[in-house]
Structure 1
Amino acid sequence: MIDPVTLLLYAAAIFVATVSQRVIGLGFGLVMGPVSAIVAGPIAAVPLNCIFAVIACSLMLPGVWRDIDWRRMTWLLVPAIPASVAGLLVARMVPTDALRIAIGIVAIAGVLVSVAFTRTSHTLDGATTRIGSGLAIGGFNAAVGVGAPLVGVYALVSRWEPRILAATMQPFWVILNLVTLAERQLLVPDGFPEWPWWAWLGASGAAVVGTLFAHRIAHRISAGVARWTIVALSVVGGTVVIVTGVIGLAGGA
């Protein structure tokens, strides 16, 4: 269950996450992962994030439709789907907090290497890069609900134009999260949050308001600001995941 005050705070977080998701194409899971874990617990956090990410990204689709790179999305999505099954299975076998720490370290290391890479004149965007990125995004998202840092890594090394990135990742997250929810229902059916109807309605309303606001400001964000925001969010997201894992392990010790 959830009380009205907690719902208000949760809705505020969804508003911020939705704006970030629309403007730079990632950030929903980074913002909502820790918040959902606090509000609903670590087990319910992943399906909760998937549900509201589907709602938020679906609302954004009409406004970004013309800028979606469907071909690149397919390159990332096809390997991400089977990787999400692997991520769920790994999450069942490995302690969640230990998994968080490992994923956070890998994410931060990947972002730092990517930033160094962007200082060169090279671009890394072949089939191997896209398939590898899709596998990592899908696996990380299903395991602990955090796939965005890996999107940031791919965006940096491929020098993906931020406007196209922001548009393309909306249908990507809709499809991947729907698939993850279906897989989770089959493989890990426990832990679905039990909220009253007004809580679902209130949180969904925050996504609507966030989408409307983000559409008004998205075109005012420069490409340079968007890229550095991706870096900052990816590093912060990886750090939060690590800290959450460490706290969890310390609490269970």
Structure 2
Amino acid sequence: MPPEVSLLITCASLVVATIAQRVVGMGFGIIMAPVVAIVAGPYSAVLVVNLFAALACALMVPYLWRDIDWGRLLWLVVPASFGSIVGLLLARVTDADVLRLGVGVAAILGVVVSVVFERGEHTVDAAAARTASGTTIGILNSAVALGAPAIAVYSMLSRWSGPSFSATMQPFWVVLSLMTLLQRQVIAPGGAPAWPWWGWACAAMATVVGSITAERVAHRVTPRAARLAVIVLSLTAGLSVTGVGIFGLLG
């Protein structure tokens, strides 16, 4: 695919992904990872997704500062930062399609089980649950640029939703994305798409446009609709990654 075409598709996806990230607190990687994997190759997905996720979420933090749950943020982001190292190492020694298939199936099962669990009265939000969730998110984010389904599972098990969830996820992704990028340069450097300098500038501008638009859209979405979007996005991510993995193995 010509670099100009891949760049155009990426920029359009960045606008949509940034809006989803602001409205429901997740969705950036779910939308961007498959797109970048198709237009620029799977090796570029982790770099591009984490780079622009850090930018998009950083632009949102000032607007959401008052609703951030700093305690939960620390419980999740610290183990996630260590988990990202494991994910990068795992990606180096595991066939990419096998990894995608495993992650996709796990994401689908995790969301389905969580939805069933959510109908009950129990809540899972102990220190062990937060640590395990953070570690899993870090592993999946650095391995296949798809940590959001694990976040969805934790949010449903802990019954954490609303403005606090959406707000806290923005600094979480800023820190985790930057950590993943730094670790990647040491463990698995390279993988940048062959875009000209102005292409990167256009992608950054698309992210800014998405962030500005997202602030207007977010206030029009009800909590119930946002919750449904979390489930739909997570299942979509699981199905798309599973499909890519199966297609790669069969091909």
TM tier, smaller: over 0.9
Taking the aligned partners of 1:194 and 1:17, their CA distance within structure 2 comes to 22
Residue of structure 2 equivalent to 1:142: 142
**Residue 97 of structure 1 pairs with residue 97 of structure 2:** yes
* Superposition deviation, residue 193 in structure 1: 2.4
* Superposition deviation, residue 159 in structure 1: 0.8
- 3-state DSSP of counterpart to 2:21: helix
**Residue 199 of structure 1 pairs with residue 199 of structure 2:** yes
* Superposition deviation, residue 66 in structure 1: 1.1
Deviations 1:164-222 (A, max 9, x none): 11110111111111111111110101322232111111111111111111101212211
Residue of structure 2 equivalent to 1:112: 112
Gaps of 5+ in 2: none
In terms of mean alpha carbon deviation, does 187-196 or 131-140 score higher? 187-196
Residues 101 and 246 of structure 1 are in contact (CA less than 8 Å); yes or no, is this contact kept in structure 2?
Answer: yes
For this pair of structures, how many residues does the alignment match?
251
Residue of structure 2 equivalent to 1:8: 8
* Superposition deviation, residue 6 in structure 1: 3.2
Taking the aligned partners of 2:194 and 2:178, their CA distance within structure 1 comes to 19
- 3-state DSSP of counterpart to 1:220: coil
Residues 2 and 199 of structure 1 are in contact (CA less than 8 Å); yes or no, is this contact kept in structure 2?
Answer: no
RMSD of aligned alpha carbons: 1.2
* Superposition deviation, residue 4 in structure 1: 3.3
Taking the aligned partners of 2:50 and 2:196, their CA distance within structure 1 comes to 18
Residue of structure 2 equivalent to 1:21: 21
Residue of structure 2 equivalent to 1:124: 124
**Residue 32 of structure 1 pairs with residue 17 of structure 2:** no
Residue type of the partner of 2:129? Answer: T
Identity %: 50
- 3-state DSSP of counterpart to 1:195: coil
Residues 2 and 195 of structure 1 are in contact (CA less than 8 Å); yes or no, is this contact kept in structure 2?
Answer: no
* Superposition deviation, residue 250 in structure 1: 1.9
Residue of structure 1 equivalent to 2:218: 218
Residue type of the partner of 1:199? Answer: G
Residue of structure 2 equivalent to 1:190: 190
Residue type of the partner of 1:170? Answer: Q
Residue of structure 2 equivalent to 1:152: 152
Residue type of the partner of 2:16? Answer: V
* Superposition deviation, residue 2 in structure 1: 5.3
* Superposition deviation, residue 77 in structure 1: 0.7
**Residue 247 of structure 1 pairs with residue 251 of structure 2:** no
Taking the aligned partners of 2:250 and 2:52, their CA distance within structure 1 comes to 30
Residues 33 and 46 of structure 2 are in contact (CA less than 8 Å); yes or no, is this contact kept in structure 1?
Answer: yes
Residue type of the partner of 1:62? Answer: P
Runs of 4+ in 1 over 3 A off after TM superposition: 1-6
